[in-house]
Structure 1
Amino acid sequence: MLTITTQDYTIPDPELSVLGRSQCNSLKQNLVPKITGPNPELEVGLIIVSPMRRTIETALLAFGDLGIPFEAHAGWQENSTQPCDTGSPISSLKSEFPQVNFDHVDPVYPDKTSPSGKKYFNTKQAIMARGQAVLRDLKQRKEKAIIVVSHSGFLRAGVTGRWYMNADYRVFDFADEVEGNVKIQEREWTAKEGGLGWSFEERVELGDGLVDEIEEPVLD
């Protein structure tokens, strides 16, 4: 899922726009009935969010009334190092969003440019490895279903090979591993244009559009 705020990429960790909030309402109206009631299609026990304002706001607006715990996870942040895709200090987010558990966020967050933040670099190798890491983490959790609110670039290139337009969603199950790699299979009811029908049906190869390497930072 992803809800963007603006095309101005220079705004640090931006909030949702009015349009973004409206898109969250569409997401809520569509998906919440599928995860509530006596016979839900998805028995959701946890909501994981990228620790960025727009994803946290998306999650709270769409699912904040359900009584399901929210947990922030640095592994689901967006790829680029532009200001709009670089997070805020966790200390400030804790006070802004007390509903979210930030206790397990990687202490290196939001760094993804120094040697300490190397696993979050905007490179094909790092993003592909991060995609596998977050999938393996999900696979090891006890909940029957988990909602992840992340970003279109990372989801498409690093995790699923599918497109996600603003606030759209897709549903996956784990499949058999292949050569030690975690694999997922999309459910039929979102497998074309997403749950809201807003996304491109086209599939892409994992790693598509990612650069192979970046210049390593030089320490003084």
Structure 2
Amino acid sequence: MPPTLILVRHAEALHNVDRDYTIPDPELSELGRRQCRDLKKNLMSKIPKELDVELIIVSPMKRTIETALLAFRGLIEKGVPIQAHAAWQENSAAACDTGSPILKLEAEFPQVDFSHVDPVFPDKKSPAGARYKYSRQAIIARGQFSLHDLYDRPEKAIIVVSHSGFLRVGVTGYWFFNADYRIFEFEERQEGMTLPYKLRQWESTVKGGLGLSWEDPVPLGDGLPDDP
């Protein structure tokens, strides 16, 4: 059976405060750190009662890593692995959505396993980084790759800490407020199916697990530019 997915948007980061998208790989704001406490209190109350989390995946960006380390420290201390994966990074190539070199992140966050990160990261502009470029086709394809990568994993439940844009237009079609989360099950697939991977949301999170996020969905790829 495919794992249950707990998809989390990072807490408020410095670029969210004044919408300054020129800040490179921004860290969490003070409000963001407080939001992590609310996330921890709410979501951890469901673990292990409703959710048996056996893996944490993070976008290899400072704000997503910090959110995971603050909100899910208890799980990590109990031995739940935390892995970084480039496929869950944010959409644009703006400074705020472009990651830091992996060697720098490894030194700053030794708790995180960076061995699974695509070696091309954080490149999004060269031919080598084309799968991460800012286009509707590339982002939808990356969302499908991300779901394909998780579908056959053995864990009962996986937390993924990612970004609002990618989670909304690349993966789920739903809005995510800072530090809010949604819980999904995979739609059943028959062996050999070539149809897209689809998710079914828990009724309890249709407004976000914290009740902060907009309820109405949008189409995947909404508002993204097409490939030239």
TM-score category, normalised to shorter length: over 0.9
| 2:93 and 2:124 in contact (8 A); partners too | yes
Q: Distance in 1 between matches of 2:10 and 2:116?
A: 22
Q: Distance in 2 between matches of 1:173 and 1:50?
A: 20
Q: Give the alignment's TM-score, normalised by structure 2.
A: 0.90
Deviating beyond 6 angstroms after TM superposition, the runs of 4 or more aligned structure 1 residues are: none
Mapped pair 1:151 → 2:129: no
Structure 1: 5+ residue stretches without partners: 215-220
Q: 1:189 maps to what in 2?
A: 204
Q: CA deviation at 1:35?
A: 1.0
| 1:2 and 1:164 in contact (8 A); partners too | no
Which structure ranks higher in relative contact order (CA pairs < 8 Å, sequence separation ≥ 6)?
A: 2
Mapped pair 1:19 → 2:31: yes
Mapped pair 1:75 → 2:87: yes
Q: CA deviation at 1:180?
A: 2.0
- Say which of 50, 69, 76 aligns to 1:41: 50
Mapped pair 1:4 → 2:12: yes
AA partner of residue 10 (structure 2): L
CA RMSD of aligned residues (A): 1.1
Q: Distance in 1 between matches of 2:221 and 2:22?
A: 25
Structure 2: 5+ residue stretches without partners: 1-8
Q: 1:167 maps to what in 2?
A: 179
Q: Give the alignment's TM-score, normalised by structure 1.
A: 0.93
AA partner of residue 223 (structure 2): G
- Say which of 141, 146, 152 aligns to 1:129: 141
| 1:47 and 1:71 in contact (8 A); partners too | yes
User: Residues 106-154 of structure 1: CA distance to partner in whole angstroms, max 9, x if unpaired?
Assistant: 0000000110000000100000000000001111211010000000000
Q: CA deviation at 1:179?
A: 4.8
Q: Distance in 2 between matches of 1:2 and 1:123?
A: 22
Q: Greater shift after overlay, 158-167 or 66-75?
A: 66-75
Q: How many residues align?
A: 210
Q: CA deviation at 1:163?
A: 0.4
| 1:27 and 1:168 in contact (8 A); partners too | yes
